[in-house]
Amino acid sequence: DAKTTQPNSMESNEEEPVHLPCNHSTISGTDYIHWYRQLPSQGPEYVIHGLTSNVNNRMASLAIAEDRKSSTLILHRATLRDAAVYYCILRDVYSGGGADGLTFGKGTHLIIQP
């Protein structure tokens, strides 16, 4: 799977929007962009995924650049519970068929200030 680059950490204030960037300049046409997060002392939690179009769900929005070389996870109104490590992961539809699992990088440690 292609590599992703994320900032090591970001800080935001409670009740404000948060934009978490991810660069994936070597993304292929069959790579889906997935986001997971891991709260302290818990297993990772699926957040959202997309291919080309922007996606929205109850947790967040995913904005994908037109050239797909970058994407941004948007938390519209951060709460203290959103403090976690956020992982941007690419998954190639034709690579292993799922048998290779998720490849987690270092992710972005999001700090929320009250």
Partner 1 sequence: GAGVSQSPSNKVTEKGKDVELRCDPISGHTALYWYRQSLGQGLEFLIYFQGNSAPDKSGLPSDRFSAERTGGSVSTLTIQRTQQEDSAVYLCASSLAGQPILQPQHFGDGTRLSIL
Q: List residues near partner 1 by CB under 8 A.
A: 32, 36, 41-46, 49, 91-93, 95-107
In the complex, the smallest distance separating the C-beta of residue 50 from partner 1, rounded to whole angstroms, is 11
- Give the 3-state secondary structure percentages of the chain, helix then strand then coil, rounded to 5: 5, 45, 50
Query: How far is C-alpha 57 from the chain's CA centre?
Result: 13
Nearer to partner 1, 15 or 100 (CB): 100
Nearer to partner 1, 7 or 44 (CB): 44
The distance of closest approach from Cβ of residue 108 to partner 1 in the complex, given in angstroms and rounded to an integer, is: 13
Helix, coil or strand: residue 77? coil
